[in-house]
Amino acid sequence: MQLRLGDRVYDIATRALVMGIVNRTPDSFYDQGRYFDIDASLKLAEQLVADGADIIDVGGVKAGPGPEVTEEEELERVIPAIETLHDRIDVPLSVDTWRAGVARQAYAAGAVVGNDISGFADPDYLGVSAEAGATVVATHIRLKPRVRDPEPEYPNDDVVTAVSDFLLDRATRAEEAGIPKERVVLDAGLDLGKTWEQSLELLRASARLADLGYPLLLSASNKTFLGRFLELEIDERNEASLAAAALGVTLGCRIVRAHDVRGTRRVCDVLAAVMEAA
C-alpha cells in the first residue's frame, strides 16, 4: 500500500508513519495551552521532527466543547505556524481543521494534508482539497465537532459496522471529488461520539477497518477511553497510549497520531522490523 503526501510517496506496507501533534489552542485537552504561544509551538514541532515525526499536524481548535473560535481566529492560530514550519522543517504538514476556508489557506501556506474530524461536513472541503492536490483524512464522528455526545447509540449496538459504513462512504465521496485513493486516509474517531467501551471495540476492530483498502490513521494518544478503564489522569496515560499504538499498528493502522513521538516511533520501528522479518 502506498500513501501520497504532497510530492512524497510512502510505502506503508510494514512501516507506520508517526504524526506529531502541535495544538495552537489555549484549551487543548492534553497540554492545556502549553504550546499556544507561536514560538513554543514552533519549538515543539522542531523537537517532534527530531524525535522521529514523519508528519506534523497543526490545529487551532480543539475537538471538544469550549468557547467559540471563529474562522478568523482559527486562521490567525494555524497559518503563521504552517508558513514558518514549511520553511523550517522537511516533513509534510497537516492542518487539523473541518473548515474548508481554513484548509484552503493552510494548503497555500504549505500544508499537504487536511485532517478533518467532521467527516467532510463542510460541502466545500473535498473540492478545496482536490484542487490543492492534498491528502485528506476522513474521520468518523456521530454528531459534530465541539458538541458533547455523552450517550452515543448505534444501530443494532454495532459501532464497528456503523463506523465502517460511514468511512467507506466518505472515502467514496473523496474519490468522486477527484482525490486519488492514495491520498485518502481513514480514522475511526476514537472518543468522538463513542463511549470508552465503543472506542476499545473500534481499536480491536482496526484490522476490519484497514481491510476497507485505505491507509488507517490511529488517534488514541492520551484519550479519555484509555483513562476511563484504567482510571488514569491525562498525564498518566503515556504507557497506555503506546500500548494502543502497538496494537493498532499490528492490526493494520499505518499512521499514528501521537504526543509522545519518540516512544511511538520506537514502537513502530520495532513492529516494522518484526513484520519485515516475517
Q: 10 Å Cβ neighbour count for 177? A: 16
β-bridge mates for residue 114, sequence order: 95, 136
Contact of 59 with 97, CB cutoff 8 Å? yes
The answer to whether 223 is a known catalytic residue is: yes
- Res. 193: pLDDT tops 90: yes
Q: 10 Å Cβ neighbour count for 252? A: 18
- Tell me the pLDDT band of 204, cut-offs 50, 70 and 90: very high
β-bridge mates for residue 96, sequence order: 59, 115
Q: How far apart are CA 253 and CA 204, in angstroms?
A: 11
Tell me the domains of the chain and their CATH numbers: 2-277 (3.20.20.20)
Residue 18 confidence (pLDDT): 98
- pLDDT tens profile 111-126: 999 999 999 999 999 9
Q: How far apart are CA 114 and CA 49, in angstroms?
A: 19
- pTM here? 0.96
String of DSSP letters for 160-202: HHHHHHHHHHHHHHHHHTT--GGGEEEE--TTSS--HHHHHHH
Highest-scoring range by mean pLDDT, 109-113, 145-149, 231-235: 109-113
Catalytic residue among 104, 223, 237, 254: 223
- At 161, is the secondary structure helix, strand, or coil? helix
- At 220, is the secondary structure helix, strand, or coil? coil
Q: Which residue reads 452515543 in cell numbers?
A: 152
Choice between 146 and 179, residue whose per-residue pLDDT is larger: 179
Q: Give the orientation angle of helix 196-204 with respect to helix 238-250, to 10 degrees.
A: 40
Residue 278 confidence (pLDDT): 72
The answer to whether 43 is a known catalytic residue is: no
- pLDDT tens profile 23-53: 998 877 677 778 788 999 999 999 999 999 9
Residue 188 confidence (pLDDT): 98
Half-sphere exposure of residue 51: CA atoms within 13 angstroms, side-chain side: 24
